[in-house]
């Protein structure tokens, strides 16, 4: 099935072979040494692979087949919402009027593209219950940081620049404390109670005159809806702090409940998760931020506005703005895809998304609860977290279970996260998977649980069917080989 010995592109090179044909040069050639300092000009030719077009096509096609994406198989990576990305999004993003516009074009020539962005902002305002939305941030974490910078500017404008503490529950996504730190705040961690929800007493204990904000993920990373949300907002507002909603997991509440109605002052969304932007390969993403009216003056500039004559305009005249957070106005292509998704689903479609996402997660949780420990046995939202502690007692770790799933052709769930679950296995099926797929994955998990009892070594030594077998995790992390080295030069000690 696999070409175990697939050569590197540098190993199939044959001097003189070409994979392209260029037109003869019809502009004056130039002398590099006249343009650049001599010591910067390479003297020998660069060592590049020389291959024919067919060779390169086969090479990269073979590599792509070793990849796992949502188009090739189930991808229940908790907290990442690896749902299907409808191909109509790609069609629309490729329309010449969207694909070929340049960000430096005059506004009068890109009114259609600006209208699309404006309509997307309006839809996201409606979906989140916020008063204004910016599309500038390029990722979820970037949105978190942008919102925190706005909160900082808000406090400073009110003569309260001393507010330097951001409260983050221990079940938060790791980006939350990281964003707070990068934005210059001190992070205070509060514990979850036995029910997996924020402990209100702990929250009351830590709030005070130095509280800048509470960052809350809802549903939290255990997949549980924070039931005391209104009370939490009240506690933080009571001491003059702001309440921030990490809306990366909006797939669980979209069209059912709105952060704006829960008392939040700002929210970020991950358009590359809930709104079907392709992700997993590192970008480009989109992490819009929505705010309530008192944060509007601090929005990053420019702000996209609709003028009275119906035309669209980038407003730079925003004296209290935190400034730009991204060149131009966000990642346009991913925003076109999100717009296409929202328009093709409609409000009822988005509501159905939420219902199926939650139904699918609860269905799997109930099928698996006998076979794995379920530390928080409550109705879950879009995802749930199992614990592999029962299997660990038999010598099989959650990491082994994740590796064994590769043999069944699945991308493993998120593991060892959130940190408050021992040997955590975090499963998010999303709404786009069929019951057959969910059942087949549950069958594989149940088989692995049985193997753990009958034949643990098959799990401990997995994977058995992949191109690369079990890596030495420590060596892979501590001494990675990141540069191409000719085969004979690689020394495996
Ligand atoms: C994915 C995620 C983030 C971070 O989003 P990025 O786009 O990866 O920066 C933040 N919070 C939660 C809850 C998430 O699931």
Per-residue pLDDT of the chain (493 residues; tens, 9 = 90+): 344 457 888 889 999 999 888 899 999 888 888 889 988 888 888 888 999 999 999 999 998 888 899 999 999 999 999 999 999 999 999 999 999 999 999 999 999 999 999 999 999 999 999 999 999 999 999 999 999 999 999 999 999 999 999 999 988 888 999 999 999 999 999 998 889 999 999 999 999 999 999 999 999 888 999 999 999 999 999 999 999 999 998 999 999 999 999 999 999 999 999 999 999 877 799 999 999 999 999 999 999 999 999 999 999 999 999 999 999 999 999 999 999 999 999 999 999 999 999 999 999 999 999 999 999 999 999 999 999 999 999 999 999 999 999 999 999 999 998 888 999 999 999 999 999 999 999 999 999 999 999 999 999 999 999 988 998 889 989 998 888 776 665 555 4
Q: Residue 427, SS3?
A: strand
Is residue 303 within 8 A of residue 134, CB to CB? The reply is yes
- Say yes or no: 23 and 124 in one domain: no
Per-residue pLDDT, 3: 45
Residue 370 lies in a domain: yes
Ligand 1 mutation target, pool 81, 136, 270, most atoms within 8 A of CB? 270
Number of structural domains (the chain) is 3
Is residue 221 within 8 A of residue 172, CB to CB? The reply is yes
- Give the residue from 193, 183, 244 showing the smallest Cα distance to 218: 244
Q: Residue 384, SS3?
A: strand
- Say yes or no: 19 and 122 in one domain: no
CA of 102 to the centre of ligand 1 (A): 29
Residue 77 lies in a domain: no
- Say yes or no: 314 and 226 in one domain: yes
- Say yes or no: 226 and 287 in one domain: yes
Kindly report the CATH number assigned to the domain that includes residue 292: 3.40.640.10
Host domain of residue 388: 354-477
CA of 165 to the centre of ligand 1 (A): 21
Q: Which residue's alpha carbon is nearest to atom 3 within ligand 1? A: 140
- Say yes or no: 296 and 265 in one domain: yes
Residue 76 lies in a domain: no
Ligand 1 mutation target, pool 77, 78, 79, most atoms within 8 A of CB? 79
Ligand 1 mutation target, pool 77, 140, 414, most atoms within 8 A of CB? 140
Which residue is listed with tokens 């902002």? 121
CA of 173 to the centre of ligand 1 (A): 7
Nearest atom (ligand 1) to Cα of 270: 7
Q: Which residue's alpha carbon is nearest to atom 14 within ligand 1? A: 248
Please name the residues in contact with 183: beta carbons below 8 A apart, sequence gap of 6 or more.
145, 148, 149, 152, 166
- Say yes or no: 52 and 93 in one domain: no
Q: What is the CA radius of gyration of the chain?
A: 26
Per-residue pLDDT, 489: 55
CA of 216 to the centre of ligand 1 (A): 12
What is the CB < 6 Å shell around ligand 1?
Answer: 79, 139-141, 173, 175, 217, 246, 248-249, 270, 285, 287
Per-residue pLDDT, 355: 98
Per-residue pLDDT, 370: 97
- Say yes or no: 277 and 179 in one domain: yes
Per-residue pLDDT, 260: 97
CA of 247 to the centre of ligand 1 (A): 9
278 secondary structure, DSSP code:
-
| CB neighbour class for 401 (10 Å; exposed up to 12, middle 13-18, buried from 19) | buried
Is residue 242 within 8 A of residue 252, CB to CB? The reply is no
Nearest atom (ligand 1) to Cα of 141: 9
Kindly report the CATH number assigned to the domain that includes residue 428: 3.90.1150.10
CA of 83 to the centre of ligand 1 (A): 15
Nearest atom (ligand 1) to Cα of 142: 9
Cα–Cα distance, 255 to 267 (Å, whole number): 15
Cα–Cα distance, 234 to 55 (Å, whole number): 64
Residue 484 lies in a domain: no
- The tokens describing 313, both together, are 């305009």
- Say yes or no: 276 and 368 in one domain: no
Is residue 91 within 8 A of residue 336, CB to CB? The reply is no
- Say yes or no: 106 and 134 in one domain: yes
Ligand 1 mutation target, pool 141, 144, 174, 224, most atoms within 8 A of CB? 141
Per-residue pLDDT, 1: 37
Q: Which residue's alpha carbon is nearest to atom 1 within ligand 1? A: 80
CA of 149 to the centre of ligand 1 (A): 18
Strands 424-427 and 414-415: antiparallel
Nearest atom (ligand 1) to Cα of 221: 13
Residue 61 lies in a domain: yes
CA of 304 to the centre of ligand 1 (A): 25
- Say yes or no: 436 and 308 in one domain: no
Which residue is listed with tokens 């939350």? 176
* Beta bridge pairs of residue 291: 132, 266
CA of 175 to the centre of ligand 1 (A): 7
- Give the residue from 477, 444, 441 showing the smallest Cα distance to 458: 444
| CB neighbour class for 176 (10 Å; exposed up to 12, middle 13-18, buried from 19) | buried
CA of 176 to the centre of ligand 1 (A): 9
Cα–Cα distance, 424 to 383 (Å, whole number): 12
Q: Which residue's alpha carbon is nearest to atom 5 within ligand 1? A: 140
CA of 182 to the centre of ligand 1 (A): 16
- Say yes or no: 332 and 369 in one domain: no
CA of 479 to the centre of ligand 1 (A): 28
Residue 487 lies in a domain: no
Per-residue pLDDT, 2: 41
Task: Order the strands of the 424-427 sheet from edge to edge.
Answer: 384-387, 424-427, 414-415
Q: Which residue's alpha carbon is nearest to atom 8 within ligand 1? A: 140
- Say yes or no: 396 and 283 in one domain: no
Helix orientation angle between 398-407 and 435-454, rounded to the nearest 10 degrees: 120
Other Cβ atoms closer than 10 A to 378:
16
Domain boundary, last residue among 342, 368, 384: 342
Residue 486 lies in a domain: no
Q: From residue 463, how far is each of 72, 291, 343, 401, 428 by CA, in Å? A: 18, 46, 42, 9, 22
Residue 318 lies in a domain: yes
* Beta bridge pairs of residue 166: 187, 213
Q: Which residue's alpha carbon is nearest to atom 6 within ligand 1? A: 140
Other Cβ atoms closer than 10 A to 379:
12
Cα–Cα distance, 212 to 164 (Å, whole number): 6
Per-residue pLDDT, 491: 54
């Amino acid at each position: 099935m696999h070409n175990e010995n697939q050569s590197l592109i540098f190993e199939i090179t044959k001097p003189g072979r070409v994979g392209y044909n260029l037109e003869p040069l019809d502009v004056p050639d130039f002398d590099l040494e006249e343009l650049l300092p001599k010591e910067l000009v390479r003297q020998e030719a660069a060592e590049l692979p020389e291959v024919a077009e067919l060779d390169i096509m086969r090479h990269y096609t073979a590599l792509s087949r070793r990849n796992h994406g949502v188009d090739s198989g189930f991808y229940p990576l908790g907290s990442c919402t690896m749902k299907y990305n409808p191909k109509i999004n790609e069609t629309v993003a490729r329309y010449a009027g969207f694909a070929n516009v340049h960000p430096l074009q005059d506004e009068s020539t890109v009114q259609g593209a600006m209208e699309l962005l404006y309509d997307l902002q309006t839809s996201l305002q409606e979906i989140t219950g916020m008063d204004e939305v910016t599309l500038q941030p390029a990722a979820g974490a970037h949105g978190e940081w942008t919102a925190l910078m706005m909160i900082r500017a808000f406090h400073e404008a009110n003569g309260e620049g001393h507010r330097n503490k951001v409260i983050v529950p221990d079940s938060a996504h790791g980006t939350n404390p990281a964003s707070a730190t990068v934005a210059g705040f001190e992070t205070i961690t509060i514990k979850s109670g036995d029910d997996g929800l924020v402990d209100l007493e702990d929250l009351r204990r830590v709030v005070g005159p130095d509280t800048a904000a509470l960052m809350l993920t809802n549903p939290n990373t255990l997949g549980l809806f924070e039931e005391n949300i209104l009370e939490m907002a009240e506690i933080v507002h009571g001491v003059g702090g702001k309440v921030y909603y990490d809306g990366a997991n909006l797939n669980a509440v979209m069209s059912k409940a709105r952060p704006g109605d829960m008392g939040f002052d700002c929210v970020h969304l991950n358009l590359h998760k809930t709104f079907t932007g392709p992700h997993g390969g590192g970008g480009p993403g989109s992490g819009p931020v929505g705010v309530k009216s008192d944060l509007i003056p601090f929005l990053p500039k420019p702000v996209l506005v609709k003028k009275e004559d119906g035309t669209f305009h980038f407003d730079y005249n925003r004296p209290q703005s935190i400034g730009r957070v991204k060149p131009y106005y966000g990642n346009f292509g991913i925003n076109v895809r999100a717009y296409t998704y929202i328009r093709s689903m409609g409000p009822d479609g988005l509501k159905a998304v939420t219902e199926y996402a939650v139904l699918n997660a609860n269905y799997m949780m109930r099928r698996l609860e006998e076979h794995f420990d379920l530390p928080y046995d409550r109705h879950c939202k879009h995802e749930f977290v199992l614990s592999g502690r029962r299997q660990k007692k038999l010598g099989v770790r959650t990491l082994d279970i994740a590796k064994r799933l590769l043999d069944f052709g699945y991308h493993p769930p998120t593991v060892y996260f959130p940190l408050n679950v021992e040997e955590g296995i975090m499963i998010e099926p999303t709404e786009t998977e069929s019951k057959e797929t969910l059942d087949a994955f549950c069958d594989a998990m149940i088989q692995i649980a049985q193997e753990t009892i009958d034949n643990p070594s098959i799990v401990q030594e997995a994977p058995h069917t992949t191109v690369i077998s079990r890596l030495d995790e420590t060596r892979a992390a501590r001494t990675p080989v990141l540069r191409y080295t000719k085969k004979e030069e690689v020394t495996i000690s």
